[in-house]
Amino acid sequence: MASFTSQAFSFGPSWNYDTLKNFREISPLVQRHLKLVYLALCCSLASSAVGAYLHVMLNIGGLLTFIGCILSIGWLFSVNAYEERKRFGILMGVAFLQGATLGPIIKAAIDFDPSILVAAFAGTALAFGCFSAAAMIAKRREFLYLGGLLSSGFSILLLFQFGSSLFGFSETAFKIELYYGLVLFMGYIIFDTQDIIERAHSGDLDYIKHALTLFTDFILVLVRILIIMMKNASEKEDKKKKKKRC
> pTM of the full predicted structure?
0.84
Residue 19 lies in a domain: no
Q: What would the pLDDT profile of 180-192 be if each residue is shown by its tens digit?
A: 999 999 999 999 9
18, 20, 21, 231, 240 from 243: Cα distances, Å: 52, 48, 51, 19, 5
Is the residue at 31 inside a domain? Answer: yes
Residue 6 within a domain: no
Model pLDDT for residues 171-230, shown as the tens digit of each residue? 777 888 889 999 999 999 999 999 999 999 899 999 999 999 999 999 999 999 999 999
- Does residue 216 form part of some domain? yes
Q: Is residue 103 part of a domain?
A: yes
**Rg value, the chain, Cα:** 20
> What's the structural domain count of the chain?
1
Examine residue 11 and state whether it is found in any structural domain, yes or no: no
Inter-CA distances, 99 with 20, 124, 195, 227, Å? 32, 16, 26, 16
Q: Does residue 16 form part of some domain?
A: no
Question: Has residue 159 been placed in a domain?
Answer: yes
Interatomic CA distance for residues 99 and 223, integer angstroms: 11
Divide the 246 residues of the chain into consecutive groups of 10 and give the mean pLDDT of each group: 37 39 69 95 97 94 94 95 93 97 94 92 94 82 78 85 72 83 92 92 93 96 94 82 72
The domain containing residue 92 runs over which residues? 27-245
